[in-house]
Chains A and B, each alone.
Chain A
Amino acid sequence: MARLSISNLTKTYNNGVKALNNISIEIESGMFGLLGPNGAGKSSLMRTIATLQVPDEGSINLNGIDVLNEPESLRRVLGYLPQEFGVYPKISAEELLNHIAVLKGISKAKERKELVGYLLQKVNLYDKRKKAVKSFSGGMKQRIGIAQALIGDPKLIIVDEPTAGLDPGERNRFHNLLADVAESVIVILSTHIVDDVKELCSDMAIMNEGEIMYKGSPQNVLSELDGLVWEKTVERNTIDAYQKNHKVISNKMNSGKSVIHVLHHEQPEEGFVQVKPDLEDVFFAKTSASIIAD
């Protein structure tokens, strides 16, 4: 059973932005979703765990490895797919994976060949292994990204915003890949897409403005909002009024009209229907400043 414990992690950037504000969190094997809006500090946290950024304070420990002081040991058991995953020009998929396999300590050419072949098949790119990765579509590139993160039997896999820009089919394939490996290792999936977490994760945290707003299972967080979410379809031009008077947590368009969700312990006014909360409601509820303040 792998365990990643993070305690009191703090990072303030030069411009005064607190990217990480005293974060403490425990993560165990399985798929862990880190949900938060853009700029919440997710990537800072991911990068810090991946030894790419040094925090001002705090500690990180993976199965006894003191990550901040022994970055090299962590890197040996890490698979990392950053938010931005580019490739060298003119280097083929096979060459790239082969290179990263060498970096991950797989020194025997034969073993590498087998592993790279296996991963390429797994991500369904074996036929295109001789082609320059640069020429791949976004989804194919992302699959190469996950393939490289899987090299070397990592104990900790971090994937940062992996599904942004993928079409539904690509996204599905991607989820399956992750689910496959997540049985015995920790997979941290950072995303702002609620459905990613909903579909994949048994454990999750919601992050905003450098702080963990919630940690727990998706089910638990949903039950927190049980009976508190009300929905109404309204005219677009009346939204301002609703927002003034109610805790509007979301506002979506449906057939040209706005569907708003409001948080309230009883029916706020005529026309609101109680709905079963979903993760998106939780996300908005936990990250929207006006609601947290209340």
Chain B
Amino acid sequence: MFKEFYSREIKSGLQQPMIYVFSILLGLLAFGAVSNDQIVIGGSIGNIQRNSPHIIMKMGLVFSLLGLFISTAFFNNAALRDFNNNFDDILFTTPIRKKDYFMGRFLGAFSLAILPFLGIYLGFILATFIAPAMGWVDPEKMGPVSIAGFMANYFLTIIPNIFISGVVIFSVASIFRSTAISFSGTMVLFLGYSIALSFSSDLENEMLAAMVDPFGLSAYNLDSKYFTPQEKNTLIPGFNSFITYNRLVWLIISFALLKVLYGFFSFEKRSGKVKKEKANKKDNTIFTKPIIYGHFSQFTDIAQCYSFTRIHLKSILSSNTFKILILFSFVQLIAILMEGYEYMGLKSYPVTYMVVEDIQNSTMIFLLIIMVYYAGDLLWEDRDNHLNEVIDASPHSSYVSLFAKYFAINVSILIIYASLSVLGILYQLGSGFTSIDLGTYFLAYALNIMPMIATWSAVLMLVHILINHKFIGFGVSIVLMFVLELILDGLDISSRMLDIASAPRITFSDISDYGPSVISSIWFNAYWIVFGIIVLLISGLLSNRGTSQSLLKRIKIIPQKMDPNFMGGIGTLFIVWLSIASFIFYNTQILNPYKTDDETELLQVQYEQKYKQYEGMLSPKIVDVDYNVNIYPAERNIYTVSQLKLVNENKESIDTLMYTYNDEWEIKFEIQNAVEVLHDKELNVKQFVLQKPLKHRDSLEIVIHANYITKGFKNSQENTMILENGTFFNNLVFLPYFGYNPSFELSDRFKRKEHNLPKRKRMPTLNEPCGAECEQNYLSNGQSDWITFETTISTSSDQMAIAPGSLIKQWTKNNRNFYHYRVDHKSQNFVSFNSGKFEVAKRQWKDVSMEVYYDQKHGVNIDKMLDAIENSLEYYTENFGPYYLKQARIIEFPRYANFAQAFPGTMPYSESFGFIVDLEDEEKNNVVDAVIAHEMAHQWWAHQEVGANVQGGTMLTESFAEYSSLMVMKKASDNDDVKMRNFLKYDYDRYLKGRSYELEKELPLREVENQMYLHYGKGSVIMYALQDFIGEDSVNAALRDFLTEYKYKAPPYPTSNDFLRHLQPRVPDSLQYLIVDWFEDITLYDYRIKEANLNEIDAENYEVSLQVEAKKFKSDSIGNEINIPVKDWVEIGFYKDNDEKELFYTEKIFLEKESQTIQIKLNEKPAKAMIDPKRLYVERVINDNSKKL
């Protein structure tokens, strides 16, 4: 009997087109993703092959998520077919066994549902051979076909995922006999995935997320988090992996669930809930036949539309699908709010825009599902309920019912948003945060959500009307929403006017409110909303009334429906729409023309081809600048005049000057005795010939006028540096670049190959000794060395303007505020300009004025910021050398960017980077301290010395700044190793994750090519470890010696080798290998305590014996590792507690073997032993480093 049901299920499934359609679809998707550079699923970038096992895994996981809908189709069908065909009465009265029926159907559907996924592998195989042959993908990016990868993927992701979702969908559908409820089962799984995803964004919750995710995506992400590119190309998950554990957990859960749900299943008819009859009040009103005639007017339409809307809304709001979706969005939002805004384990205050963004981010998917679902459902509601004939034959216009559906969808979305907002507000109040900004709640809806829903719901209704088949209509709707952008991308179209419902998203900020994009957002939204209404009217023309008719017939009868009222209405709307469209077109294409991605790429190629020949041409260097900057915040205009003094430092004379400028700014040059000989307006290059050549040591004055004029609005994001409040920009955005700027070159090596460009070096090689390449540093690229500059800056009367240096003079003229700043010492030509409405907090430290300029809403952490500046000044002046400036300023800027940056004595600092973080908890890491200490350290490492423009340059600034900041933190924590380890964890993560995503090659630290994961992540980790090994004083002494040699010194600039030269003498002979391992090679370690035994001799004498395993690897640039012999000093530590809070004893031991046993005597009873307890070595797996005793 079982066999009968099973084979019947399979046979009938194989006869249906569904299985073939899905197979082909998945195959095509996989083929497209592997063979096309535009489609990236799974992150195949850089050195990762497009068909590597890692990509197979990722794609399999993503597709099995999409496959939820495939399994819904198969399992739901298998469970409900008999009921839907009313065959249940007949079938269930025959003597079949429940087990045979249930399991036969279930396993049949399961066997069917896993089949289409084989299409993925076929797609992979085909793409592997076809794509390189056709020239679609560089052969280098294609590895061998990985059958083992397919197997692992199929058995670890596809089969378990289909099984898990199948159990839920099939059981729920069989028991409740309702598609809507089985759909909810699907959504529960999806919710698990989505919550896991939001958990996994934080280091602390990664493990939890890996287990919670029913699809295993988060588990595999954790497994592969630190995979090097090489591992991504070759590794296949083994048994000891999170994904395997996750699968085991979920398979057990689903078997258990299957057993439980099977118990509930029964052939008997589900007795409907017997509701208690509400005793109707006996109503004795006697109605007599009223004499009423229908009366028809404009008002009737409105009344009808209102009545329709009410009925639809009621059916949406009372449907289970809606209730479940709203419940899920609540669960999701609560999960995210509770987990909330993490920075290194810190939470920020729940300011309104954060909560609003959480609502938008976390629940958008549910809003979209509701919209897509009901756009189809409402259109089919009358027909599905067999009420269509009565409704269709009633005297209402088709537009009325269409608009009512449109309103019902939009109102239901509003209801969800409003209830989520209430939840958000309650959360804010519950956290004791009372300055709730209702306007932000409203505007986020009005500008970010409503227009999108309004536009898409109209478009999707048209889709359904055109297709006139409910399920195909849904399919087309979903495909349209996902594919539209891909198509536009493929066609290189970036105009929002063609991208349905596209409008600049509003980012809220306490400083600049709704930001600069609000005007364009309003226009684009209006454009799309009117478009949606026109689409609705057209839908009305095409809609089906009465008996179903083919699209062709419906089109044929359109002329009959075009009465004058309709034509007038749609005509007027069309004119309105066209007017908005032309206004937007004028603003985004004529006033503010833009370049598409392909155009930009082509210009980069042309620039390189045409001007590369001028690279390294002689040019004078800037020695002094007088900046005159005038900021008009209300207009968002900036007028600058910069007087540059240049000197020819070269032996040879210079007769030609070349500039590359930024065409977002209007640039005018005034150069004494020079003639413009070339102006390449497309590539923004100018050349001048000097009438009198500039001889050695001769100087030249140049005046540059650079103006930023805001005209209307743009298609892309507005300039977020120049704002009505909180403007922040620097001199490099408007100063033309001398000569050829290699940073404009196309960097992606495959794109370069496509355009026949030669291989490009990211940076000049580190040579010993350093040659001409050391004549310039990596910050100013030979444009200048240490210079003097001053700034006159003005802004509107309600704002304050700040540039680096001491304030010399301040005055008011023409109702504007003027300031004159001069830097007290020669500096880098790197100048910030800020303007805004600021509160100012000041504190004096010796002769340095410490200042924080902040928004009035952000006063909470200001004292801590001043403390951080003070701590930094103290530590750095004591250990590295004097501070040569008279001020140290923090200036807040809006959260469009999330960074802080050091200019001479002046450090702009993003609103989102600590101003609203809750620092009440003393135990936690203090991100504000860390960031401020880092930026302050740059006043030494970048502003007193700076690396040459060769490999390793950023080690001398960024790694040192990170190290310095760690030392300030360490001092503030009273040398608390445990706290520092918790802090370092983020640096480890940054390094290990970074190398996993390396596009070209990982380098040893001393050859770092401006790779952030190296100079921040690895740099801080190994410098910290170094000071633990050789002593803080020794590292600081090496740094101080190095700084003293190069402080404000003219070229040649130092390289990382120059630092190592100072470091070497400070390192004892026994530890010299550390310099090689850490700075000159890529070295990784793997330690573990295999066994640990505690022997209690008496209450004060304990003996611990540990069996320790140690491995050491050297890695090449893409992650190929070779084992090398272990010969290292490693610490063994003991904790008093299991939570690793109190580290009471550490001892350094020398490891010489891969496995050895160690005996250690202790005076106190340890709870836990750990190898490398301070986490000084770079290890990818650390949870095997400790053992409970």
Q: A91-B311, A105-B296, A117-B287 are in contact. Are A75 and B385 (CB under 8 A)?
A: no
Greatest chain A CB density within 10 A among B288, B289, B319, B389 is at B389
| B contact residues around A114 at 8 Å (CB) | 287, 290, 292
Asked if B547 is at the interface (CB within 8 A of a chain A CB), the reply is yes
Instruction: Choose among B300, B311, B546, B557 the residue that contacts A52 (Cβ–Cβ < 8 A).
Output: B546
B546 and A105 within 8 A (CB): no
Asked if B491 is at the interface (CB within 8 A of a chain A CB), the reply is no
CA distance A117 to B310 in the complex (A): 20
| A contact residues around B396 at 8 Å (CB) | 103
Chain B stretch 366-392: residues in CB contact (< 8 A) with chain A: 381, 385-387, 389-392
Least Cβ distance of B625 to chain A in Å?
74
| A contact residues around B300 at 8 Å (CB) | 105, 107
Greatest chain A CB density within 10 A among B283, B288, B292, B300 is at B292
Least Cβ distance of B763 to chain A in Å?
68
Instruction: Choose among B278, B293, B389, B397 the residue that contacts A80 (Cβ–Cβ < 8 A).
Output: B389
Looking at A82-90, A197-205, A242-250, A277-285, the stretch in contact with chain B turns out to be: A82-90
Looking at A124-132, A214-222, A265-273, the stretch in contact with chain B turns out to be: A124-132
Asked if B394 is at the interface (CB within 8 A of a chain A CB), the reply is yes
B390 and A148 within 8 A (CB): yes
A75 and B394 within 8 A (CB): yes
B387 and A52 within 8 A (CB): no
B290 and A115 within 8 A (CB): yes
Instruction: Choose among A52, A126, A153 the residue that contacts B294 (Cβ–Cβ < 8 A).
Output: A153
CA distance A81 to B935 in the complex (A): 79
Instruction: Choose among B280, B289, B389, B547 the residue that contacts A130 (Cβ–Cβ < 8 A).
Output: B280
Asked if A182 is at the interface (CB within 8 A of a chain B CB), the reply is no
Looking at A1-9, A58-66, A94-102, A163-171, the stretch in contact with chain B turns out to be: A94-102
A76 and B294 within 8 A (CB): yes
| B contact residues around A87 at 8 Å (CB) | 385, 387
Instruction: Choose among A51, A80, A85, A91 the residue that contacts B386 (Cβ–Cβ < 8 A).
Output: A85
CA distance A85 to B389 in the complex (A): 8
B288 and A47 within 8 A (CB): no
Asked if A106 is at the interface (CB within 8 A of a chain B CB), the reply is yes
Asked if A50 is at the interface (CB within 8 A of a chain B CB), the reply is yes
Binary contact track B277-309/A, C-beta < 8 Å → 1, others 0? 010100101111111111110011001101110
Least Cβ distance of A153 to chain B in Å?
6
B546 and A86 within 8 A (CB): no
Chain B stretch 722-777: residues in CB contact (< 8 A) with chain A: none
B280 and A53 within 8 A (CB): no
CA distance A121 to B311 in the complex (A): 23
Asked if A162 is at the interface (CB within 8 A of a chain B CB), the reply is no
CA distance A235 to B391 in the complex (A): 51
Least Cβ distance of A51 to chain B in Å?
6
Least Cβ distance of B382 to chain A in Å?
8
B315 and A88 within 8 A (CB): yes
Asked if B545 is at the interface (CB within 8 A of a chain A CB), the reply is yes
B314 and A91 within 8 A (CB): yes
Asked if B431 is at the interface (CB within 8 A of a chain A CB), the reply is no
| A contact residues around B311 at 8 Å (CB) | 88, 91, 95, 99
Q: A53-B547, A100-B390, A103-B396 are in contact. Are A118 and B289 (CB under 8 A)?
A: yes
| A contact residues around B549 at 8 Å (CB) | 54
A51 and B393 within 8 A (CB): yes
**By the criterion of a CB under 8 Å from any partner CB, how many residues of chain B are at the interface?**
46
CA distance A76 to B304 in the complex (A): 14
Interface residues on A, range: 35 or more
B285 and A88 within 8 A (CB): no
Kindly report which residue of chain B lies nearest to residue A127, judged by CB atoms: B280
B318 and A107 within 8 A (CB): no
Instruction: Choose among B296, B315, B557 the residue that contacts A90 (Cβ–Cβ < 8 A).
Output: B315
Asked if A104 is at the interface (CB within 8 A of a chain B CB), the reply is yes
| A contact residues around B290 at 8 Å (CB) | 111, 114-115, 118
B547 and A52 within 8 A (CB): yes
Instruction: Choose among A47, A81, A104, A145 the residue that contacts B395 (Cβ–Cβ < 8 A).
Output: A104
Least Cβ distance of A64 to chain B in Å?
17
CA distance A145 to B306 in the complex (A): 22
Asked if A195 is at the interface (CB within 8 A of a chain B CB), the reply is no
CA distance A51 to B303 in the complex (A): 23
Kindly report which residue of chain A lies nearest to residue B311, judged by CB atoms: A99
Kindly report which residue of chain B lies nearest to residue A72, judged by CB atoms: B395
B547 and A50 within 8 A (CB): no
A80 and B393 within 8 A (CB): yes
| A contact residues around B395 at 8 Å (CB) | 72, 75-76, 78, 103-105
CA distance A87 to B300 in the complex (A): 23
B394 and A103 within 8 A (CB): yes
| B contact residues around A80 at 8 Å (CB) | 389-390, 393
Chain B stretch 287-346: residues in CB contact (< 8 A) with chain A: 287-296, 299-300, 303-304, 306-308, 310-311, 314-315, 318-319
CA distance A50 to B287 in the complex (A): 30
Kindly report which residue of chain A lies nearest to residue B560, judged by CB atoms: A69
Asked if A152 is at the interface (CB within 8 A of a chain B CB), the reply is yes
B387 and A76 within 8 A (CB): no
Least Cβ distance of B308 to chain A in Å?
7
CA distance A103 to B303 in the complex (A): 8
Kindly report which residue of chain A lies nearest to residue B302, judged by CB atoms: A107
A52 and B389 within 8 A (CB): yes
Instruction: Choose among B292, B307, B547 the residue that contacts A99 (Cβ–Cβ < 8 A).
Output: B307
Binary contact track A125-151/B, C-beta < 8 Å → 1, others 0? 011101000000000000001001000
A53 and B546 within 8 A (CB): yes
Kindly report which residue of chain A lies nearest to residue B290, judged by CB atoms: A114
Chain B stretch 1064-1115: residues in CB contact (< 8 A) with chain A: none
| A contact residues around B394 at 8 Å (CB) | 75, 100, 103-104
Least Cβ distance of B1125 to chain A in Å?
75
Chain B stretch 893-923: residues in CB contact (< 8 A) with chain A: none
CA distance A152 to B549 in the complex (A): 29
| A contact residues around B303 at 8 Å (CB) | 102, 107
CA distance A115 to B296 in the complex (A): 17
CA distance A95 to B390 in the complex (A): 15
Kindly report which residue of chain A lies nearest to residue B272, judged by CB atoms: A135
Binary contact track B394-425/A, C-beta < 8 Å → 1, others 0? 11110000000000000000000000000000
| B contact residues around A115 at 8 Å (CB) | 290, 292
B288 and A118 within 8 A (CB): yes
| B contact residues around A51 at 8 Å (CB) | 393, 546
Q: A89-B315, A91-B314, A91-B315 are in contact. Are A54 and B557 (CB under 8 A)?
A: yes
| A contact residues around B546 at 8 Å (CB) | 47, 50-54
CA distance A64 to B1018 in the complex (A): 90
Q: A91-B314, A99-B308, A117-B287 are in contact. Are A52 and B295 (CB under 8 A)?
A: no
Instruction: Choose among B288, B306, B318, B389 the residue that contacts A84 (Cβ–Cβ < 8 A).
Output: B389
Q: A91-B311, A104-B294 are in contact. Are A130 and B385 (CB under 8 A)?
A: no
Least Cβ distance of A9 to chain B in Å?
15
Binary contact track A21-53/B, C-beta < 8 Å → 1, others 0? 000000000000000000000000001001111
Kindly report which residue of chain A lies nearest to residue B291, judged by CB atoms: A153
| B contact residues around A52 at 8 Å (CB) | 389, 392-393, 545-547
Kindly report which residue of chain B lies nearest to residue A103, judged by CB atoms: B394
Least Cβ distance of B139 to chain A in Å?
53
| B contact residues around A106 at 8 Å (CB) | 292, 294-295
Nearest 3 pairs between A and B by C-beta? Answer: A86-B386, A105-B294, A52-B546
**28 A-B contact pairs sorted by A residue (CB < 8 Å):** A50-B546, A54-B549, A76-B294, A76-B395, A82-B390, A84-B386, A86-B386, A86-B387, A88-B311, A91-B311, A91-B315, A99-B307, A99-B308, A100-B394, A102-B307, A103-B391, A105-B294, A105-B296, A105-B300, A106-B294, A107-B299, A115-B292, A117-B287, A127-B280, A130-B278, A148-B390, A152-B293, A153-B291
Seen from chain B, the residues whose Cβ lies within 8 Å of a Cβ on chain A are: 278, 280, 283, 285-296, 299-300, 303-304, 306-308, 310-311, 314-315, 318-319, 381, 385-387, 389-397, 545-547, 549, 557
Beyond A53-B546, A127-B280, A153-B292, 6 extra complex contacts between A and B, CB < 8 Å: A80-B393, A82-B390, A89-B319, A106-B294, A107-B295, A130-B278
